[in-house]
């Protein structure tokens, strides 16, 4: 397992008496692509700024390779930050922009020139040395901002929603570029986004946050397939989240019908939340389903059809490559493995904290 590189220990931070992070703990491994994912105001950017030295925590410590860097200014930390606003100097050429940090460090001219060539090649912008930032597209400017950070040879690259201003196609292209750069450079990436698809595409590890609390940490596959609570299930992709009763191990009652499942340890006749992904709902003949209903809506999404099925008083969201016309009576069948059972939070505070015994 890669070594622990950064350790955030008992971090608390508030702004104007509003607590943003409360006793927050997280560690980041060497050469990991870790994404902080969550809605606006969940504390992800504050976490990144504390790692970068742009904010000081009210309590707690930032440890980098066993050294406490909590009070070290940003320019003394072995990391670089790329913001959504590229902050390129418009009066400088691309080469001068990339060289800016190296000149401050008083590196030799030949060293700087070598680094500029290397960085431009790395971000596929060779020959752009003498262009000005305003002559570049948004995607090209973003790559220059990344090149400028890379030449400083940071151990960690912090990226704060860096692709937010780009259109969809460019954003997808840049996602693959970032994965390639991370693999080639062997540095640690800490990435902030509210875009679930971006997080699932690029990350080794995703940290889902809400209201200053970590809801779940895991691989993209874990987060998507095994959400630990309703917030994670709802935030990562589409979900059917339905109140249920855990009758006994491996048997759950949903909307008055009993479905076999694979979960155990919830007790007998216990209220639970049930999560079923839309792509895991199989539409069959009415008599073959555990329950039956009627298709009420149909949208073609390109890769699949998105349908809504009213069954047992619940509007089921269904994704399928097979089209079933509106008004058709259908059965709903679900493989036991595709039914995720979660404890119901008992209070709003417990829900925010992501408590899941």
Q: Dig out the tokens for 300 from the structure.
A: 């073609």
Q: Say yes or no to pLDDT of 2 above 70.
A: no
Q: Taking a C-beta distance cutoff of 8 angstroms, is the pair 24, 212 a contact?
A: yes
State the average pLDDT over residues 42-59. 96
pLDDT band at 86 (very low <50, low <70, confident <90, very high): low
pLDDT band at 352 (very low <50, low <70, confident <90, very high): low
Q: Say yes or no to pLDDT of 357 above 50.
A: no
pLDDT of residue 356: 46
Q: Taking a C-beta distance cutoff of 8 angstroms, is the pair 74, 246 a contact?
A: no
Domain with CATH 2.40.50.140 in the chain: 239-353
Q: Taking a C-beta distance cutoff of 8 angstroms, is the pair 5, 64 a contact?
A: yes
Domain with CATH 3.40.50.300 in the chain: 4-225
- For the domain made up of 4-225, give the CATH fold: Rossmann fold (3.40.50)
For the domain spanning 239-353, the CATH number is 2.40.50.140
Q: Say yes or no to pLDDT of 355 above 80.
A: no
**Model pLDDT for residues 234-250, shown as the tens digit of each residue:** 899 889 999 999 999 99
Percent of the chain residues topping a pLDDT of 90: 71
**Model pLDDT for residues 286-336, shown as the tens digit of each residue:** 999 999 999 999 999 999 999 999 999 999 999 999 999 999 999 999 999
pLDDT of residue 276: 96
When the pLDDT of each residue in the chain is averaged and rounded to a whole number, the result is: 92
State the average pLDDT over residues 15-26. 94
Q: Say yes or no to pLDDT of 85 above 80.
A: no
pLDDT of residue 180: 86
d(CA 231, CA 215) in angstroms, rounded, equals 8
Q: Say yes or no to pLDDT of 116 above 90.
A: yes
Structure pTM? 0.87
């Amino acid at each position: 397992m890669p070594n622990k590189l950064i350790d955030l220990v008992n971090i608390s931070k508030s702004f104007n008496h509003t607590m943003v992070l409360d006793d927050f703990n997280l560690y980041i491994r060497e050469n990991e692509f870790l994404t902080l994912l969550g809605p606006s105001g969940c504390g992800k950017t504050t976490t990144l700024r504390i790692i970068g030295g742009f904010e000081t925590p009210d309590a707690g410590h930032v440890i980098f390779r066993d050294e406490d860097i909590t009070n070290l200014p940003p320019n003394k930390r072995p990391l670089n930050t790329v913001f959504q606003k590229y902050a390129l100097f418009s009066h400088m050429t691309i080469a001068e922009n990339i060289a800016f940090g190296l000149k401050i460090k008083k590196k030799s001219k030949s060293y700087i020139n070598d680094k500029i060539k290397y960085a431009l090649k790395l971000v596929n912008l060779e020959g752009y040395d003498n262009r000005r930032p305003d002559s570049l597209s948004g995607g090209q400017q973003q790559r220059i901002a990344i090149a400028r950070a890379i030449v400083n040879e940071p151990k960690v690259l912090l990226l704060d929603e860096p692709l937010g201003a780009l259109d969809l196609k460019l954003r997808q292209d840049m996602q693959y570029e970032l994965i390639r750069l991370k693999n080639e450079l062997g540095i640690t990436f800490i990435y902030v986004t509210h875009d679930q698809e971006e997080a699932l595409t690029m990350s080794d590890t995703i940290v889902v946050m809400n209201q200053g609390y970590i809801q779940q940490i895991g691989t993209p596959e874990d987060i998507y397939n095994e959400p630990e609570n309703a917030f994670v299930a709802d935030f990562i992709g589409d979900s059917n989240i339905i109140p249920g009763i855990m009758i006994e191990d491996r048997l759950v009652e949903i909307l008055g019908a009993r479905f076999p499942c694979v979960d155990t340890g919830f007790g007998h006749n216990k209220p639970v939340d049930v999560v079923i992904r839309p792509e895991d709902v199989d539409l069959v003949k009415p008599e073959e389903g555990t329950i039956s209903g009627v298709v009420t809506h149909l949208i073609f999404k390109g890769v699949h059809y998105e349908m809504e099925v009213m069954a047992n008083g619940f509007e089921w969201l269904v994704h399928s490559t097979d089209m079933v016309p509106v008004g058709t009576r259908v059965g709903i069948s679900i493989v036991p493995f595709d039914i995720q059972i979660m404890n119901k939070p008992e209070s709003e505070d417990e829900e925010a904290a992501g408590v899941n015994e």
